[in-house]
């Protein structure tokens, strides 16, 4: 009987250790279960955030494509305007050259024909070229050197050539 009590005492001790291990295991499993539930909630939230981010990216792509189309249209319009402006500038340069040459020829013709007002005008003795008279000029301006109009034409030519070089 002693042996049976020792074996039963030993079994009781093993059962107590088993119960203790089972209680600890149960606590750990409950922690894991609660962590699993939190992990599932976190996974669901991550899934929702990922879907929102995907839809936002699609919206960004659509917006970027629309902006690209708008910029392409604006670029095409600006290039067309630039081409028109270049054409108009070329025509204006050509017209300015013709005008400068025409004005220069008129001044040269006037100098050669001496159609300027003399220093002491007398009635019928001088021919006045009214096209070359500056309406804002003083009387003393007409008494000065007639080369003034020629210099103006040269200045205009220099200005035109400087504008062409500037482009």
Q: Is residue 23 part of a domain?
A: no
Please check whether residue 15 lies inside any domain of the structure. no
Condensed to tens digits (0 to 9), the pLDDT of residues 112-132 reads 765 444 444 444 444 444 445
Is position 10 within any domain? no
Count CA within 13 A, CB hemisphere, residue 110. Answer: 23
Looking at the domain assignment, is residue 133 inside a domain? yes
Check residue 28 and give its pLDDT: 93
Total domains present in the chain: 1
Tens-place pLDDT, residues 15-46: 999 999 999 999 999 998 888 889 999 999 99
User: Is 20 a domain residue?
Assistant: no
pLDDT of residue 110: 65
- Chain centroid to CA 38: 50
Question: Higher confidence at residue 40 or residue 152?
Answer: 40
Other beta carbons less than 10 A from residue 57's beta carbon: 10
Q: What share of the chain is helix, strand, coil (3-state, %, to 5)?
A: 85, 0, 15
pLDDT at position 57: 93
* Domain assignment present for 7: no
| Residue 99 structural domain | 39-166
- What pLDDT does residue 152 have? 57
The whole-number pLDDT of residue 121 equals 47
Indicate whether 5 belongs to any domain.
no
Residue 53 lies in a domain: yes
Reply yes or no on whether the pLDDT at 6 is more than 50. yes
pTM above 0.75, yes or no: no
pLDDT grade for 167, boundaries at 50, 70 and 90: low
pLDDT tens for 58-107 read 999 999 999 999 999 999 999 999 999 888 888 888 888 888 787 777 76
CA-CA distance, 103 to 134, in Å (whole number)? Answer: 14
């Amino acid at each position: 009987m002693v042996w049976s009590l020792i074996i039963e005492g030993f079994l009781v001790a093993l059962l107590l250790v088993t119960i203790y291990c089972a209680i600890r295991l149960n606590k750990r499993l409950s922690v894991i279960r609660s962590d699993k539930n939190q992990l599932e909630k976190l996974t669901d939230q991550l899934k929702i955030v990922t879907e929102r981010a995907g839809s936002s990216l699609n919206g960004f792509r659509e917006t970027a494509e629309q902006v690209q189309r708008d910029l392409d249209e604006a670029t095409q319009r600006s290039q067309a305007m630039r081409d028109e402006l270049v054409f108009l500038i070329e025509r204006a340069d050509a017209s300015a050259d013709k005008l400068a040459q025409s004005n220069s020829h008129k001044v040269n013709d006037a100098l050669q024909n001496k159609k300027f007002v003399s220093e002491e005008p007398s009635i019928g003795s001088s021919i006045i070229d009214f096209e070359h008279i500056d309406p804002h000029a003083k009387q003393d301006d007409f008494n000065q050197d007639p080369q003034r109009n020629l210099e103006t034409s040269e200045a205009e030519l220099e200005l035109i050539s400087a504008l062409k070089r500037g482009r």
